[in-house]
Structure 1
Amino acid sequence: MIRLFCCFSLVASMAMLAVAEPARLLMVTQSAGYRHGPVKREKMPLSPAERAITELGVSTGLFRADCTQDVAADFTKEKLQHYDLVLFYTTGDLPIAEEDLDYFFNDWLKQKGHGFIGTHSAADTFHNYKPYWDMIGGTFNGHPWGAGSTVTIKVHDQEHPASKPWGEEVTLKDEIYCFKNWQPEKVRVLMSLNMAKTELKEPYHVPVLWVKEYGDGKAMHMSLGHREDVWTNETYLASLLGGMKWMLGQEPGDATPNPELSAAQELKAKADTEAAKK
């Protein structure tokens, strides 16, 4: 009898999983500043980055994506209530009403425990608006490494689902941002430039991927994504997917801040710079 009950319970659980609704994701690709190639729709329904995320959701069944380049209409308190995740590939001061921004930060993210993913120039958005850069962890301060630069990136946490797909290290071409308003005491750096293997531009720590807890919510920023070909890179998409799974509670990941790593990498970058001069 007990075995029969267990079998029925297992079948019922599997049936529930089979019909489980995918998460809802709102992808915002509006530009109030520089407009990147991956978010240009060019008379198509979706841009390259939007297609990549939409197809990722369909292929994995993890989420269903809605894409907008009209935040005034779509980034509102009423509409945000239908989403579990928000992804920004944006620039500048977006025309979002103050009450909607307040709801997003203080209710939707902090209290309701949803997830925010920033990609590339999300850090070049609302850079003079403290609540935003406090949430994202840092803001754009130039890109000494342009889109054609070949850089080597060190993975510091190979267990977190957002950084695990990259292995120990990766070398690729992309534009790399430096940051101001950087808050190492509030974020966990998962990946950063390996200055010893990268053409040196500035002698300091340059984070590439980090995560943080924001109240009951979770945030992640992935600096890569300037180039269109990055959005077809399977490892890049697996990294974003891993971050989403962590935010949705489907995979564990450590978000404990590691400011000591940033401090150590800062010293190492300066040492590498001095060594390169000799």
Structure 2
Amino acid sequence: MKKAVKIIGFTLLTIIILLGTAMGLFIYKVKNGFPVSYETEKPKINFPSNQKAVLVFSKTTGFRHAASIDASKPVLEQLAQKNNWFVYETEDGGVFNSEQLAKFSTVIFDNSTGEVINDEQKRALEQYVENGGGLIGIHGAGDDSHHWDWYEQNLLGAKFSHHALAQQFQTAEIQKDIKADSTISQELPTSWKHADEWYVFFENPRAKGFNIIYFMDGDKIDANGSIPMLAPNKNFGMGNDHPLAWCKSIGKGKTFYTSFGHNEVAWKNETFVKLIENAINWTQMK
């Protein structure tokens, strides 16, 4: 009997260790990316002469928000038809070269996670923005898997910490900031309700000079993202001023980020879609 108990105990302990190891490896991969290959050949793109070009980039080497990415594509195409944009959607990092980037008015990191472009391509994107280009990040584009200081400082203005785990999706009342940029906030409601996976950052981008478009009272959600032994000390939120969408002028260019958009639900929400449309139009303004 004792021998059987020992065998059962040893088996359970082994299972726990294996599960813990697997979870730890998964968290490491999410934070640091899965095996990366960089595309360097310039793609062939036929840019129309009478349309502003928008680059939609959805490559992932970290966690993939597949449902949101798939749902975003037809919506962005509809916005393109409405606004007479040319949309080039790709997961090929070869497009991040100075010559082709200069032909886009806006670059969207559409839930793009992990290290997706090489150092030379990163410098090309940095120069593109500082010389007058627009950069937009949606949801997963704001996690901490990118390992890119310029990107974190100029698009996010804050370092990602976690998202809630026990209650991953929570409905919150979204409030328009009183000082929100008028172009991005036009025709948008002053308040609305939405359920999403709310990101928690260590800092408030407001303190870094970013213009907040929407925020919520972070004290009204359960922001606990702790995982014992693997990701402890994550039982905190951002307080009653929890930004959800913000923008900033960077050199001659512009950046906009929103943590909305974990799954396809956001792309069915007219307010969210209008927010993205306004943000694209704002980045195209010179």
Task: Report the TM-score when normalising by structure 2.
Answer: 0.70
2:198 matched to which residue of 1? 176
1:7 matched to which residue of 2? none
Distance in 1, matches of 2:238 and 2:160, equals 17
Pick aligned residue for 2:106 from 85, 89, 107: 85
Using the TM superposition, name which of 137-146 and 220-229 deviates more: 137-146
Distance in 1, matches of 2:164 and 2:242, equals 11
* Count of residues in correspondence between the two structures: 220
Amino acid at match of 1:169: S
Deviation sequence 1:205-235 (CA, Å, 0-9, x none): 3210101010110100011011202112222
Alignment identity in percent? 23
Report deviation, 1:139: 3.3
2:266 corresponds to 1:239:
no
Task: Report the TM-score when normalising by structure 1.
Answer: 0.72
Q: CA RMSD in A?
A: 2.3
2:147 matched to which residue of 1? 128
Q: What stretches of structure 1 of length at least 5 have no aligned partner? A: 1-18, 41-46, 251-278
Q: What stretches of structure 2 of length at least 5 have no aligned partner? A: 1-47, 224-236
2:66 corresponds to 1:37:
yes
**1:20/1:82 Cα in 2 relative to 1: closer, same or farther (>3 Å)?**
closer
Amino acid at match of 1:118: G
**1:203/1:210 Cα in 2 relative to 1: closer, same or farther (>3 Å)?**
closer
Report deviation, 1:125: 5.6
Distance in 1, matches of 2:63 and 2:218, equals 27
For residues 134-149 of structure 1, the aligned pairs below 5 Å read: 134-136=153-155, 137-144=157-164, 147-149=168-170
Pick aligned residue for 1:21 from 50, 54, 61: 50
2:238 corresponds to 1:190:
no
Distance in 2, matches of 1:221 and 1:210, equals 6
Distance in 1, matches of 2:142 and 2:195, equals 19
For the residue of structure 2 that corresponds to 1:142, the secondary structure is: strand
**1:159/1:101 Cα in 2 relative to 1: closer, same or farther (>3 Å)?**
closer
1:67 matched to which residue of 2? 89
2:229 matched to which residue of 1? none
1:13 matched to which residue of 2? none
Distance in 2, matches of 1:68 and 1:163, equals 28
2:132 corresponds to 1:103:
no
1:217 matched to which residue of 2? 253
Distance in 2, matches of 1:238 and 1:218, equals 18
**1:219/1:86 Cα in 2 relative to 1: closer, same or farther (>3 Å)?**
same
For the residue of structure 2 that corresponds to 1:209, the secondary structure is: strand
2:266 matched to which residue of 1? 230
